[in-house]
Amino acid sequence: MRRALFPGSFDPLTLGHYDIIKRGVTLFDELVIAIGINADKTYMFPLEERVRFIEEAFQDEPKIKVTTYKGMTVDFCKKIDANFILRGLRNPADFEFEKAIAHTNRKLSEIETVFLLTSSGKSYISSSIVRDVIRNGGDYTGLVPETVMVK
């Protein structure tokens, strides 16, 4: 089975993430979307809400599973028997950052990283931009799937 892990904080899930997931799921038998838990990081959305955003967005896709994890991504990949890590790239800076992580992960394990370029119309979207729009009362609805609702 070709199982891939798509790790991230998804704070919140964006249309950029959604794009990578929709395209990535066609490449694998199963795609595990894993929300990393980092105790040193402050999140805008609680973990349960981030899980809900993703589960509802992909409720009709049986090849997608949603979970959470702590610790190193490669260790979690081994735990769930994932042979691939899926990552999205928006720009050259993303590539340089992700390349270093991919090389480190490859050094630590046999897990391959697969990169997909975000569709051009979504390459400017990041969770940090979405959070800033939300904090400042802007219209964020064109940046996230419908399942992401701010109360």
Q: What is the CATH number of the domain that holds 75?
A: 3.40.50.620
Does 61 map to a domain?
Answer: yes
Does 140 map to a domain?
Answer: no
Q: Let me know if 50 is a catalytic residue.
A: no
Check residue 39 and give its pLDDT. 80
The three-state secondary structure class of 139 is coil
Q: Let me know if 90 is a catalytic residue.
A: yes
Tokens encoding 55: 């589960």
Does 120 map to a domain?
Answer: yes
66 touches 8 (CB < 8 A): no
Instruction: Choose the catalytic residue: 70, 90, 120, 151.
Output: 90
Domain total in the chain = 1
Tell me, rounded to whole angstroms, the distance of Cα 24 from its chain centroid.
11
pLDDT in tens, 10-20: 999 999 999 99
Q: Looking at per-residue confidence, does 150 or 97 come out higher?
A: 97
pLDDT in tens, 84-120: 999 999 988 889 999 999 999 999 998 999 999 999 8
Does 60 map to a domain?
Answer: yes
Instruction: Choose the catalytic residue: 2, 3, 9, 17.
Output: 17
Name the β-bridge partners of 68: 35
Q: Which of 74, 75, 56 is nearest to 66 (CA)?
A: 56
- Note down the domain range covering 60: 3-135
Instruction: Choose the catalytic residue: 41, 107, 120, 151.
Output: 41
Tokens encoding 57: 């967005």
pLDDT in tens, 38-94: 888 899 999 999 999 999 999 999 999 999 999 999 999 999 999 999 999 998 888
Kindly state the helix (H) or strand (E) to which residue 64 belongs, with its residue range: strand 64-69
Q: Let me know if 2 is a catalytic residue.
A: no
